[in-house]
Every structure is written in structure tokens, then in C-alpha cells.
Amino acid sequence: MGLATGREVPVVYQSRHPQTARVRMWRHMAGPVVFLLSGAVVFLGVGVLIVLTK
């Protein structure tokens, strides 16, 4: 995760899976969402380009 050794961070536990924990930091929680949204925008953009060129 790229965190410094010994650094204190807030941790979130899910009620359904208490054995697994997640670091509660904006960059670690929002990273997958930003990646998926970027991929969706590229996918839709390519679809629009294909429709407009025909």
C-alpha cells in the first residue's frame, strides 16, 4: 500500500467479514472507484466514436 512502517492509520472492519480490515484513507478507498470510472469513460468514449464514424 506504500505506507511508511510504523505509521498509524485508521482501520475499518466490515460487519460481514470482521477478519479483514481496510485502511481508511481517501487515496486507498477511492483508488478502485477512480480506476473503474476512468475505464468506463474510455469505454463509452470509444463507443461514441464508433457510432459517430459510421
Q: What is the pLDDT along the chain (54 residues), one digit of tens a residue?
A: 677 888 888 888 888 887 887 777 776 677 788 899 999 999 999 999 999 998
> Which residues sit opposite 1 in a β-bridge?
none
What is the value of pTM for the model shown? 0.51
Quote the pLDDT of residue 28. 66
Domain count, the chain: 1
Residue with cell 483508488: 31
- pLDDT given at position 18: 79
Asked if residue 43 belongs to a domain, the reply is: yes
Question: Which residues have CB under 8 Å from 24's CB, separation 6+?
Answer: 9, 10, 11, 12
Domain that holds residue 37: 25-54
What pLDDT, on the 0 to 100 scale, is given for residue 33?
A: 87
| Residue 2 forms part of a structural domain | no
Query: Which pLDDT value is given to residue 1?
Result: 63
Residue with cell 510504523: 6
Element (H, E) at 11: strand 11-13
CA angle 19, 22, 27 (to 5 degrees): 170
